[in-house]
């Protein structure tokens, strides 16, 4: 019984995943990048703080939420294939 309920849950999650367009995830990623970049820009005011340069701050802001975006896109592709 529990195995069947888990299977139904996975099917429902895959159906919901397929109904969400990719632009929503990209918009969420861009929002996260903006918030992280603004945090670094306002919190790092001394030359000894890391990352101090705006290019380093932007790079770190792009990389931090990228793992979540990649995992989401991977799950979306798998849901579309099945």
Average pLDDT, consecutive stretches of 10 residues, N- to C-terminus, the chain (82 residues): 76 68 82 89 72 82 86 78 70
Output the six-digit token pair for 22.
Answer: 């990719």
pTM of the entire predicted model: 0.60
Three-state DSSP class for residue 56: helix
pLDDT score recorded for residue 67? 84
Which ranges in the chain belong to alpha helices (H)? 2-19, 22-43, 54-63, 66-81
pLDDT score recorded for residue 34? 92
- Report the C-alpha gap between 19 and 27 in whole angstroms: 16
- Report the C-alpha gap between 38 and 31 in whole angstroms: 11
pLDDT score recorded for residue 29? 87
């Amino acid at each position: 019984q529990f195995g069947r309920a888990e299977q139904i849950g996975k099917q429902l999650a895959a159906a919901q995943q397929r109904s969400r367009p990719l632009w929503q995830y990209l918009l969420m990623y861009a929002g996260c990048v903006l918030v992280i970049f603004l945090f670094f820009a306002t919190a790092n005011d001394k030359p000894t703080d890391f990352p101090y340069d705006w290019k380093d701050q932007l790079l770190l802001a792009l990389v931090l939420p990228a793992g979540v975006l990649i995992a989401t896109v991977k799950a979306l592709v798998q849901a579309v294939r099945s």
